[in-house]
Amino acid sequence: MNLDFLSLLSIEQQIIISCFVLFFIIQAVYYCAVFIRVAFYRAKSTNLSDLSQEGISVVICAHNESEKLEKLLPKILKQGHPAFEVIVVNHRSTDDSADVLNLLKLTYDNLIIRTIELDEIFTHNNAMAWGIGIKAAQYEWIVLTDINCYPENENWLMALRQNFGKKIDIVLSYTRIQRHKLVRADNFFDALSYLSKACAGKPYAGSGSNIAFRKDLFFNNRGFHPQLKLHDKADRIFANTVCKKANTSVDLGFESVNRSSLRLSFKEWMRKRRDELRSQRLFRPGTKNVGYFELVSRAFYYALFIVALICSLDVQWAWITVLSVFAARLIMQIIIFIKAQKQLKEKGLLFTSLYWDIVSLFLYLPIIILSKRERR
């Protein structure tokens, strides 16, 4: 390429292309320094049969979920861990959940039932139900999961257990969703962000569908945030409060990843994700916007790509350079997505993820802007 090609560009063209390259570099840092940690994660090689028999308390909240209790709860109750209990908080249910639980109790001695009666005056969120379940736990280590979730093998608790150590207080893992590819892609993007940051020693969030922590950690930090509202995501806010570089472990091995049978429409899922984004107002200082930086830089990257390509069409080397830079990011992205999705057992999601990389900008940027205005 002729070094004099810059002289063929106007100052405005040089500035636009330079800005485009700058945001390409920012995106490249995310993929090659952050997201790569999930893509090339190496599972621990601990022999699960050699682990100690330290007990685990699994806490689950259920509201009118009798069918899932009957179908999915036995998958957790049949875990191969030598010492564990499953505490189900039957949260204001009006179906036959109580009968299902009492019937399961006859078969499984390690099933503990707690009930929150329906109250026509007060409406309680899951944070209260989780708190009741955690308080009832007899073991030091708590594992939170949803009634929609289930492990794919009997070593799930043993796999999480291998991360428990003297300096570790909280363990993060992944839950994959079965239905609707756009929902799966969004779930993957979200987890790729917070799990990669955690692997890099900068944890800022977690999911209550697959998380383990010490009981003392919960109560020493006053449980869930006192400012929680009904729509706030207590699990993510709690993880943000307690996760630190020194006390957090991530496990993305085959046994530790579980599956969700959740069947939300795309509209319902977006409402859930909107609440999660808005709840970041309660994150600790320095982490409230950490999940936004990549999204904003991506928006500038795509916008500048379009502008740079259009304004450089009259100079051959310029538009070839712009397309080459775009292709370089796309190749990085495909490699990271393939490796990360293989690691997280997300099959057939590559093309949907590439599509979602663009579409999510139009869905989430307005939510972020509105949430910022709501705080003022």
- 102 with 189, same domain: the answer is yes
- 255 with 119, same domain: the answer is yes
Question: Number of C-alpha atoms within 13 angstroms, CB side, residue 79?
Answer: 30
Contact 164, 152 (CB under 8 A): no
Q: Is the pLDDT of residue 372 over 90?
A: no
Give the global pTM.
0.89
Q: Is the pLDDT of residue 338 over 50?
A: yes
> Which residue, of 254, 282, 310, is where some domain finishes?
282
* CA 64 – CA 219 distance, rounded (Å): 28
Q: For the chain, how far is it from start to end, CA to CA, in angstroms?
A: 51
Q: What is the mean pLDDT of the chain?
A: 88
- 132 with 273, same domain: the answer is yes
- 192 with 102, same domain: the answer is yes
> Which residue, of 248, 282, 316, is where some domain finishes?
282
Tell me the CATH number at 105.
Answer: 3.90.550.10
- 99 with 81, same domain: the answer is yes
* CA 126 – CA 143 distance, rounded (Å): 15
Report how far apart, in Å, the C-alpha atoms of 72 and of each of 10, 14, 190, 317 are: 64, 59, 25, 59
What are the structure tokens assigned to 277, written together?
């984004």
The predicted pLDDT at position 93 comes to: 87
DSSP lists the bridge partners of residue 91 as 116
Domain range spanning residue 321? Answer: 3-40+290-370
- 208 with 90, same domain: the answer is yes
45 found inside a domain: no
pLDDT bucket at 83, cuts 50 / 70 / 90: very high
Instruction: Give 134's contacts (C-beta < 8 A, 6+ positions apart).
Output: 57, 59, 142, 215, 218, 219, 223
